[in-house]
């Protein structure tokens, strides 16, 4: 039996990185006797809240993980994206009483650092599984 049914919202931006994150998240969910049962891809991290909301509304989803990599550019755009997205993601978890794991790396990181941080996906899965079990 699956302990926790997880929805995943994955950014297409930097997909070479976020795709690896998704595969790691799926493996780790299985290791924790849970499962990523639905995946929604969105253009970027800023676009995640609406997809998260759609998943949280479903009775067959216990928790959601967000997977994205926000790489530093020439401006402070990366900081603004992560700040606003993470705030809204936290608000949605509170609104729907379901855990939402923040598997978004950045801001202020290089592409190399993003590759080195794909493991953050596992942390997000671990967090939502623990939170779901502890809040039952």
Residue 75 annotated as binding site: yes
Strand, coil or helix: 90: helix
13 assigned to a ligand binding site: yes
Distance CA 72, CA 82 (A): 11
Q: State yes or no: 31 annotated in a binding site.
A: no
Confirm or deny that 18 is annotated as ligand binding.
Answer: no
Task: Identify the helix (H) or strand (E) that includes residue 64.
Answer: strand 63-71
Instruction: Considering the candidates 19, 28, 77, 115, report the single residue annotated as catalytic.
Output: 77
Is 84 noted as a catalytic residue in this protein?
no
Q: Which residues pair with 42 in a beta bridge?
A: 11
Question: Is 69 within any annotated ligand binding site?
Answer: yes
Token output for 108: 């202020």
User: Which residues are annotated binding-site positions for (2S)-2-hydroxy-3-oxobutyl phosphate?
Assistant: 74-75, 111
Catalytic residues: 77
User: Which residues are annotated binding-site positions?
Assistant: 13, 45-47, 69-71, 74-75, 102, 111
């Amino acid at each position: 039996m699956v302990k926790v049914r997880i929805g995943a919202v994955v950014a297409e931006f930097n997909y070479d990185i976020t795709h690896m994150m998704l595969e790691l998240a799926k493996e780790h969910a299985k290791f924790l006797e849970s499962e990523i049962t639905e995946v929604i891809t969105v253009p970027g991290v800023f676009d995640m809240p609406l997809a998260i909301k759609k998943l949280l509304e479903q009775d067959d989803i216990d928790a959601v993980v967000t997977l994205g990599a926000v790489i530093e550019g020439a401006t402070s755009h990366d900081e603004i994206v992560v700040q606003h997205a993470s705030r809204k993601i936290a608000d949605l978890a509170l609104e729907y009483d379901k855990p939402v794991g923040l598997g978004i790396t950045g801001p202020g990181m290089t592409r190399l650092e993003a590759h080195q941080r794909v493991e953050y996906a596992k942390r997000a899965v671990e967090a939502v599984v623990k939170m779901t079990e502890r809040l039952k």
